[in-house]
Structure 1
Amino acid sequence: MMNKLKFYRDKRLSCYEIKQGQYHLPAAKCHCHNELSIGIIENGTSMVSCQGIKFVVEHNHLVVFPPQVMHQCTPQNLKSWKFKMLYIDKKWLQSVFTNHKETTVSVVVKKLTTMNINKVKSFFSFLESEASPLEKETRLIMTLAALLSFTDSALVHNVEVNINADIRLLREYIEKHYLENITLDEMTAFMGMTKYYLIRLFNKNYAMTPHAYLMQLRLNYAKMMLKKGKDIAYVAHESGFYDQSHFSNSFKQFCGVTPLWYQKLI
Structure 2
Amino acid sequence: MPIEQEQRHAYFDRDLRIEAYNLSGIVQKFPNHFHEFYVIGFVEGGKRHLWCKGKEYDLGAGDLILFSPRDNHFCAPLGGEVLDYRALNIQPEVMRAAAQEITGTAFTPVFTRNVVFQSELAQSVGEVYGAILSQAPRLQKEEAFYFLLEQVLRDYAAPLDESATPGPDQTVQALCAYMEQHFSENVTLDELLSMTSFGKSYLIRTFTRQVGVSPYRYLQTVRLERAKRFLEQGVAPIDAASMAGFSDQSHFTNFFKEFIGLTPKQYQRIFTDAPPGADGQAPQQSTRRARGGLCRGKKLMKKDWSQK
TM-score, normalized by length of structure 2? 0.75
**Secondary structure at 2:114's aligned position in 1?**
strand
Which deviates the most, 179-188 or 131-140? 131-140
How much does 1:40 deviate?
A: 0.7
Counterpart residue identity of residue 33, structure 1: H
* Structure 2 gaps, min length 5: 272-308
The answer to whether the aligner puts 1:242 opposite 2:247 as a matched pair is yes
Q: Which residues of 2 match residues 1-266 of structure 1 at below 5 A?
A: 1=3, 2-10=5-13, 12-13=14-15, 15-98=17-100, 102-112=108-118, 116-133=121-138, 135-137=140-142, 139-151=144-156, 158=163, 160-161=165-166, 163=168, 166-264=171-269
Asked if structure 2 preserves the Cα contact closer than 8 Å seen for 1:49 and 1:55, the reply is yes
**Secondary structure at 2:32's aligned position in 1?**
coil
Whole-Å Cα distance in 1 between the matches of residues 21 and 80 of structure 2? 17
Counterpart residue identity of residue 203, structure 1: T
How much does 1:187 deviate?
A: 1.1
Whole-Å Cα distance in 2 between the matches of residues 96 and 136 of structure 1? 14
Counterpart residue identity of residue 110, structure 1: V
Runs of 4 or more above 6 Å deviation: none
**Secondary structure at 1:149's aligned position in 2?**
helix
TM-score, normalized by length of structure 1? 0.85
Which whole-Å deviations, capped at 9, do the CAs of 1:74-119 have from their partners, x for residues lacking one?
Answer: 1214544211111011122223334675532434311245x65333
CA pair 263-151 structure 1, distance change in 2 beyond 3 A: closer
How much does 1:237 deviate?
A: 1.3
Asked if structure 2 preserves the Cα contact closer than 8 Å seen for 1:3 and 1:23, the reply is yes
**Secondary structure at 2:33's aligned position in 1?**
coil
CA pair 80-252 structure 1, distance change in 2 beyond 3 A: closer
**Secondary structure at 2:245's aligned position in 1?**
coil
Greater fraction helix: 1
Whole-Å Cα distance in 1 between the matches of residues 220 and 29 of structure 2? 13
Whole-Å Cα distance in 2 between the matches of residues 191 and 160 of structure 1? 24
* Structure 1 gaps, min length 5: none
Asked if structure 1 preserves the Cα contact closer than 8 Å seen for 2:41 and 2:125, the reply is no
**Secondary structure at 2:184's aligned position in 1?**
coil
**Secondary structure at 1:191's aligned position in 2?**
coil
Larger Rg: 2
Asked if structure 2 preserves the Cα contact closer than 8 Å seen for 1:51 and 1:159, the reply is no
Q: How many residues align?
A: 261
How much does 1:65 deviate?
A: 0.4
Whole-Å Cα distance in 1 between the matches of residues 255 and 26 of structure 2? 17
Whole-Å Cα distance in 1 between the matches of residues 249 and 16 of structure 2? 26
Q: CA RMSD in A?
A: 2.7
Whole-Å Cα distance in 2 between the matches of residues 159 and 72 of structure 1? 22
Asked if structure 2 preserves the Cα contact closer than 8 Å seen for 1:18 and 1:85, the reply is yes
CA pair 165-27 structure 1, distance change in 2 beyond 3 A: farther
